[in-house]
């Protein structure tokens, strides 16, 4: 049976982000990679996502919806991290942006 290990997705994230983390501001880059991992863990638990390459609009928008309690600034930081992930993967489009609190209907 050829199954991926439970940490295979972290290996994908690590491989994609290794060069990025080795240059520039280390603290910020580590934080961005942690945010990418959190989004992936959410998608894995709620959407049965098996690879970071399966992260798409649906999973990201659902992550934003489930985390409405986060500030606009924090959600923007998640968007920046996801934008970086899209660049790692060679995607040409940007991930969906989170709506600001004033634009969202009440829960």
Quickly list H helices, 1-107.
Answer: 8-22, 26-47, 57-66, 72-89
- What does the alpha-carbon distance between residue 17 and residue 60 come to, in Å, rounded to a whole number? 19
Q: Model-level pTM?
A: 0.80
Distance CA 99, CA 75 (A): 9
- Alpha carbons 5 and 63: distance in angstroms, whole number: 24
Instruction: Name the least confident of 21-25, 30-34, 44-48.
Output: 21-25
Model confidence pLDDT, tens digit, residues 50-107 = 999 999 999 999 999 999 999 999 999 999 999 999 998 899 999 999 987 766 556 5
- Domain borders along the chain are 24-102
């Amino acid at each position: 049976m050829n199954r991926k290990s439970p940490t295979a997705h972290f290996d994908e994230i690590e491989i994609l982000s290794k060069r990025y983390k080795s240059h520039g501001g280390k603290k910020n880059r580590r934080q961005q990679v942690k945010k990418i991992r959190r989004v992936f863990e959410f998608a894995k638990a709620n959407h049965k996502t098996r690879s970071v390459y399966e992260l798409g609009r649906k999973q990201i928008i659902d992550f934003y919806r489930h985390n409405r309690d986060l500030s606009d600034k924090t959600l923007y930081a998640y968007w920046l991290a996801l934008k970086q992930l899209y660049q790692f993967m060679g995607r040409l489009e940007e991930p969906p942006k989170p709506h600001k609190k004033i634009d969202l209907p009440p829960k």
